[in-house]
């Protein structure tokens, strides 16, 4: 089963690090660790093949300041999220 995630970040410099399962939730891992970034909205699309349908799709963004965790919403088979 293919899971498609479209996420909009508030700043550039984001790298995709992979995904993992936490119970039945699928967690997509991103990272922004540099010092200076362009402050523009940037959208990324990630597709992953998984064996089962997740109960939730979570986005984890690691930054130098700590990080953010937020949930994606399923909209017609595509999960969408925006960095808070």
| Domain boundaries defined on the chain | 2-82
If we measure between CA atoms, which residue out of 57, 60, 81 comes closest to residue 9?
81
Query: Mean pLDDT throughout 19-38?
Result: 90
- pLDDT-derived band at 70, boundaries 50, 70, 90: very high
Pairing of strands 25-32, 56-63: parallel
If we measure between CA atoms, which residue out of 19, 14, 9, 31 comes closest to residue 56?
19
- pLDDT-derived band at 25, boundaries 50, 70, 90: very high
- pLDDT-derived band at 36, boundaries 50, 70, 90: low
Q: How far apart are CA 72 and CA 26, in angstroms?
A: 10
The pLDDT value recorded for residue 5 is 98
Name the β-bridge partners of 18. Answer: 29
Checking if the pLDDT of 39 tops 90, the result is no
């Amino acid at each position: 089963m293919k899971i498609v995630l479209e996420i909009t970040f508030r700043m550039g410099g984001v790298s995709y690090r992979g995904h993992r399962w936490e119970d039945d939730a699928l967690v997509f891992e991103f990272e922004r660790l540099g010092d200076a970034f362009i402050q523009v909205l940037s959208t990324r699309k990630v597709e992953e093949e998984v064996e089962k349908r997740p109960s939730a799709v979570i986005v984890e963004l690691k930054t130098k300041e700590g990080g953010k965790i937020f949930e994606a919403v399923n909209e017609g088979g595509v999960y969408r999220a925006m960095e808070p």
